[in-house]
Amino acid sequence: ETERTLAIIKPDGVTGNHTNSVKETILNHGFRIKEESFIQLDEDRVKCFYAEHSSRSFFRSLVEYMTSGPVLIMVLEKGNAVADWRALIGPTDPLKAKVTHPHSVRAICGLNLQKNCVHGSDSPQSASREISFFFKTTSSGHASKHD
C-alpha cells in the first residue's frame, strides 16, 4: 500500500554537496519525490518540529545546527515508504552506521551523531504529522508548501 514519509537533507548534507547523490539514491530505490522545498528553518520552527526532544541535553545544540543553513525537505512516496526510508538512511550515528550499515546514507554522508545528513519519519503517525508540519494537504491528498 502506498505510503508517504518526510525526508530532510540537513544543513551538513546540503553544505557537504550530498543533495544530488541522496536524491539519486531515493529515486533508485523506487521512491517518488512528491514535494520538495529548499528552506531555511528558524529557531521557533525547529523547536516545534523537534518538540519531543525538548528535554534532551542535545536539544539546544540540535536547534543551532538545524538553523545553521538551508535544508531540503521532501515528501517521499512508495509502498512501505516510512520503514524503507529509515532502512536506507541507517542508524542515527554515522560512525556506528559505517560499521553496521556501511552502504546506508548516514554511513556514506553523515559526519557524527548530530550531523547525520538526513532525517526520516520514525512511524506512519510521525510521517503524517511531519508532512503536514511543512506542507498543507488538500482534500485531493495533494500537498503544497506552507507560506
Least Cβ distance, residue 76 to ligand CMP (angstroms): 14
Q: Quick check: helix, strand or coil at residue 36?
A: strand
101 binds ligand CMP (CB under 6 A): no
Nearer to ligand CMP, 59 or 80 (CB): 59
Q: Which residues contact 105 (CB under 8 A, 6 or more apart)?
A: 22, 25, 88, 89, 90, 117, 118
119 binds ligand CMP (CB under 6 A): yes
92 binds ligand CMP (CB under 6 A): yes
Cell digits for 92? Answer: 542515527
In the chain the beta strands, taken as DSSP E runs, fall at 2-9, 32-39, 71-79, 118-120, 135-137, 143-145
58 binds ligand CMP (CB under 6 A): yes
Exposure class string for 1-24: b at 16+ Cβ within 10 A, else e: eebbbbbbbbbbbbeeebbeebbe
10 assigned binding-site residue: yes
Size of the site for ligand CMP (CB under 6 A): 8
Query: CA 37, CA 136: separation in Å to the nearest integer?
Result: 13
67 binds ligand CMP (CB under 6 A): no
Least Cβ distance, residue 102 to ligand CMP (angstroms): 19
Among 3, 34, 37, 62, binds ligand CMP (CB under 6 A): 62
Nearer to ligand CMP, 104 or 116 (CB): 116
Instruction: Give the catalytic positions in this structure.
Output: 119
Q: Which residues bind ligand CMP (CB under 6 A)?
A: 53, 58, 62, 92, 113-114, 116, 119
